Amino acid sequence: MRGARRLTYADSRMKNLLITLLHFAVVTAKLCGPGGVRAVIAENLVLKQQLIVLRRGRQRAPNLALSDRLICGLASLFLSPGRIRKVAIGLRPSTFLAFHQALVHRKYRRLFSSSQCRKRPGLKGPSDALIQAIVELKSRNPRFGCPRIARIIAHTFGVDIDKNVVYRVLAKHYRPAPGGTGPSWLSFIGHTRDSLWSVDLFRCESIVLRSYWVLVVMDQFTRRLVGIGVHCGPVNGTDVCRMFNAAIHGQHTPRHLSTDHDPLFEAHRWKANLRILEVDEVKTVPHVPLSHPFVERLIGTMRREFLDHVLFWNARDLERKLAEFQVYYNAARRHASLEGHTPLAFASGQTAVPADLNHVRWVCHCRDLVQLPVAA
């Protein structure tokens, strides 16, 4: 029994060897004949491409790409009709039937269709002009998020757009500039060249690392930045009074003023100054910054959107640049808490006229640090 198995195995190996030698003889004969080299090369290319396709579709029917069809079609030009029937194993009858059905459908669609260009069903996406406006706004202001861009587009152009649509548009059409998200060198050099209110203090550093204290005053109802006071060096009660008086100079005083429990706001000079101005002081909850949310958010906005991107030399330079930010914050920056209105527009009750997407001009604020679209 074992001898019979060994004989069968030997016969199989001998048969495979004879078939291999036969194929070698056939290929040699082809190479010696006219055009044989091209035929052998083309047949090998077709077989290799078929192996790639079949390996790609082990778990399912192979999907032929455009490159696969081009290679098979070009190689078939150098093969004889008899060889094409033997090597054409990558295509199935269903492929030819599906191709024929597609040709039939295309024929009758071209004959009886009322429009030459068939429109795709479903919801239509944003227009090209809207996409360009979204991408341009993001390119000019890389720090703007999708909700903020949606609010600006809605109030500038009158187009009600969701923040998720803005996200999808930016994901497909926007590519950040290789230079980063900071201000340009021109903008950077331009900066280095030179009735309940809330009050709070914060500190910032100059280009020569000197500490400056900034006092901000805001109206909680309209979110308006009332004024700013600047002082260099340590601060006492007298300095806080001077900064507050400079911030509200030329404006009416409120009935109430909200402050935290900083020792500077407990000084005798500060309380006497409020008594002279006939302003009632309202204290926040001790050690709870969330009880003073609006002015804390304002300070964070000033840092993130402005002071983190500019440098200043002295108190005069800082006052001038913060005055430019105050104009932008009150007249141009739209606030989510005000339903997308600016503080001045919210206080006056005015409504901006929507602009046309095809007639837009860009207005620069804070020395090109922020660029917003307006009607041309």
d(CA 156, CA 161): 12
**Which carries the bigger pLDDT value, residue 277 or residue 351?**
277
What would the pLDDT profile of 151-187 be if each residue is shown by its tens digit?
A: 888 888 888 888 888 988 988 888 876 655 555 444 4
For the chain, list the strands marked E by DSSP.
196-205, 211-219, 224-232, 256-259, 280-283, 360-365, 370-375
- Which among 22, 126, 217, 134 has a CA at the least distance from the CA of 230? 217
The per-residue pLDDT for range 203-229, each reduced to its tens digit, is: 999 888 889 999 999 988 888 899 999
pLDDT by residue (tens digit) across 106-115?
877 777 766 6
Which sequence spans correspond to the domains of the chain?
2-97, 129-178+347-376, 185-331
Confidence at 190, pLDDT banded by 50, 70, 90: very low
Domain 185-331 bears CATH identifier 3.30.420.10: yes
Over range 341-349, report the average pLDDT.
Answer: 82
The confidence score (pLDDT) of residue 241 equals 92
pTM for the model stands at 0.56
Residue 242 has pLDDT above 80, yes or no: yes
DSSP three-state, residue 375: strand
Share of the chain above pLDDT 90, in %: 13
Q: Residue range 77-99: average pLDDT? A: 64
pLDDT of residue 316: 92
Reported for 143-152, long-range contacts at CB under 8 A and 24+ positions apart, including other chains, are: 143/181, 143/304, 143/305, 146/170, 147/336, 148/334, 148/336, 151/334, 151/336, 151/340, 152/334, 152/340, 152/372, 152/373
